[in-house]
Amino acid sequence: MIRASQIRWAILGTGVVSRKFVLGLRQLGAMASVSTVASRDPAKAQKFAASFRIGAAGDYASAVARDDVDAVYVATPPSEHEAHALMAIAAGKAVLIEKPFAMDAAAASRIAAAATAAGTFCMEAMWTRFLPLMAEVRSLVAQGVLGELRSLQASFMGSDLPDAGVSLFDPARGGGALMHRGVYPLSLARQLLGPIARVSAIGRIGATGVDEDCSVILRHESGAMTTLTASLRAPGPNDLVLAGTRGLLRLEAPIYRPHRARLMPVSPRDRSRQGGGRLESLREGGPAQHLNQLLAPLQRGGRMIHKPYAGNGYHYEAAEVSKHLQTRATVSALMPLSESIEIMAAIDTARAQFR
């Protein structure tokens, strides 16, 4: 029986993201605790456990089977997500699965079907969706502040040394720029612009066999367009620009943990009323254009929106799990399983075009 005041977690995987998640849980105080951690390497589990003063399980199965575990955080490589999620579901535990949700849409569908059949809560750990700024973005969109949404442009890029021993560069473990970085803007685009109707993509496959750079274009059912870029080998702006008929909203980097955005409203121009006259001559003349260039850095305009996150931001997704366990709901409205499957299907389509 789940305690009303505390959700007890088992952590599967001992990588960097697992450490961040455990540190993030501290923001929830008595509402969350970690009972145990497990790894394919017991020595790594023991080391991780010692650093956080928690228990260590001998293997994954014994970790999810413990009576003092209410929810399981799956932070193993994507190739292991399905097996570990199904293990947790079979044990009757809620499960939070790191993005990407699975290796492909078929595996994502099997996880969702198992959770639905068991009546168990299951959610993808796309933590960015749960940050305070994203709640404000969704509110602005719902209010129609941006008008009709027409496009989204975003990137998540970084320069890493290729290493086949690292999961990022290992195709067998679900590596690649799109799976690990492009999934962020892809997920946000699906949430903000709606269902995806078409996917076009190009990618550059590196020596290790994964896409090291890629660009993806989406057309949504609404007619809106998304353009995203992801890379394991080169840096990028790592921001997001959402444009509508009445405004533009720029989320400042980093795209995975944004806390500032600039809203720039616009009034659609009536082209039938433009053209000719002395004003046009003055505006397009040398002095006016020179002044325009000098003042350009000062003409950003708009309204800055600042929605800081607490701690490192990882606890918001854990709080979402806790909320649904208390109400006995099995699906999150902010990160529904149907969208996780759709996102994986889009990734499948894009990756098929890389080769």
Q: φ and ψ at 77, to 5 degrees?
A: -60, 155
Residue with tokens 């078409």: 198
Whole-angstrom distance, CA of residue 271 vs CA of residue 245: 15
- Which position among 44, 99, 307, 323 bears the catalytic label? 99
Tokens of 351: 């990756």
Q: How many CB atoms lie within 10 A of CB 95?
A: 29
CB 311 within 8 A of CB 131: no
Length of the chain: 355
Report yes or no: 257 and 131 within 8 Å, Cβ to Cβ.
Answer: yes
**Pairing state of beta strands 122-125 and 94-98?**
parallel
Q: What is the DSSP string of 313-339?
A: STHHHHHHHHHHHHHT--S-SSS-HHH
Alpha helices in the chain (DSSP H): 16-25, 42-52, 60-65, 78-90, 105-118, 132-142, 177, 183-193, 278-283, 286-295, 315-327, 337-352
User: What's the one-letter identity of residue 13?
Assistant: G
Instruction: Please tell me the distance from the alpha carbon of residue 155 to that of residue 128, in angstroms, as a whole number.
Output: 14
To the query of whether residue 323 is one of the catalytic residues in this protein, the response is no
Tell me the C-alpha to C-alpha distance, in Å, between residue 142 and each of 148, 192, 261, 274, 343. 10, 10, 17, 32, 22
Catalytic residue numbers read 99
